[in-house]
A and B are shown apart, each in its own frame.
Chain A
Amino acid sequence: MTRRGGVARAVAIVLWGLLVFECRQVRENELAARRLFGPAIGHEVIAGRADDEAGRTWLLAGERTLISIDLARAGVSRHPLQVGDASCWGLARLRDGTLWTLKGRSTVIGIADSGEVVREIPLGAPHFGVFASDDRLIVQPADFQPPAPLLFAARVDDARRVAWGDLRSRSFPLARASVAALNMLTCGVGRHGEHPCWFPDEAAVSLMNSDGRVRKVALEGLEVVPPEVLLTADNPARPVRDAYVDDTGTIWVLSSGRPLAGAEDQPGGWILARYSDGGVRLGVQRLKESARLILRAGSGRAVLLTGGGMVAEVVP
């Protein structure tokens, strides 16, 4: 054998070894979901989520449809929002049970379970999102000049808004619009006194208590892409697509990851990760089917909304 042929053979063996190692590792960590019922949703973008005391999850789908998923009764209902051609973003539920969303850029509306608009509150300026904390609406103004307070709180019957909590917008060496986009916040469900919120570019959650104070928890082992890639890719990898803190404080995270070879092209993330309250990694597993939301988690299992729109259970 010539020296060139020997090198080629060695490279081929190394590549083959890497391929075998990768395949075995993936197979060992694959997590299959057991379908419970559905479909609950099509391929519409989920623009907001709020849970109620009765155990139902409310979703704002396609920016104009209210969907409720009742896990106990295995039921789904859909109601179009009575907002004409306007688009809505975010879904917040106050302590009194009322649901709120951001209509267009500058109006918060109260909506009934049937999708009917029951209240309109003009905000007077463009906003990116709406959240809730007890009896306060928390809004995120469209801010193009960081660093600045990120969130403001208001009561429904009081027009005054005050800076709320510790979160501040972050600076980037990018154009104004890109910086604003990277500072848009998303929040998930918290059952342990803190709500997980996150920025789209970070592998971290800010756990926020009812006063808006936050502690940041880094989530190791999740894929992060540079902000420029995140903003320009067709289907960017997002370190945190959804997060859920269960009643023991375990942080469940859905991350984009990468689909299995030959998997159906569905929206959602392929990695389900768990972290302790302090951020210690408890497990990172690849899903056999993509998932869009963590509907419930706890006692070692999670109920997910899959990329195909089904409600399904996984036991990591």
Chain B
Amino acid sequence: MSRAGPGPEDRHAQNHGTDSGGTATGCAEAVVTPPRPAGRALAALAGLRAPVVWVLLAIAFFTSISGKPVDGVLMLIVAVGLAWDAGRRALRHPETAAATARTARLTGRRRRFAVIALLAGAVVYAVVVGSFSRYSWPATAGIIGLGTVAVLIGWHGPVRARPDGGRLPVAGTLAWLAVLVAGCLWELSALLQQPSLTTDSHAHPTISTLTDPLLATSPGRSVALLAWVAFGWYLVER
């Protein structure tokens, strides 16, 4: 099972809340004796202990000052929601706070039909949203709509159970982190060497600048959107 229990961050927050709330351990109820106000406040702040929340807050800040206030506000909403949710769940017991995998699976023809319908929907979505100009309100609505659906699905837990897989090899994981962090820093250095955060540079192009020619055309946008939707589908299935 991929989600037999809460992950490390959740466990951490839950333990913190349980301790601060003064609740007894080993109780089988979902919500136990209400904690004192101080304990409740500490439990709510437990949500801020999740690194993801701080990463999202940083993205919200930098996106906003880069001239994309809509992105910034959306990131801020998710960061606050995630912190609140983690804090709220910190008041519960780990057994009941754990999100469980929705293991109901479609089989045979129904599954094939569902996959075909989803594929057709993805293609139609990519063609329709790709036909709108970049940064237009219709395109923005399309992206926000699908993004919200995917995040809400993820919020409720994995769509299907997966084997745990155990611990990842440390050296290999560090190698991945090194490559990914190096890529992010390279992009950031290009961004900071632009004349300004909102002015492109030919000498130091960001990935956005390099993809501009592709995304300038409707077919190019549709192909890129199809790839984005496919990757989102892959993530939701994790």
**A and B together in one complex:** no
**Interface residues in chain B, defined as those with a beta carbon under 8 Å from any beta carbon in chain A:** none
**Interface residues in chain A, defined as those with a beta carbon under 8 Å from any beta carbon in chain B:** none
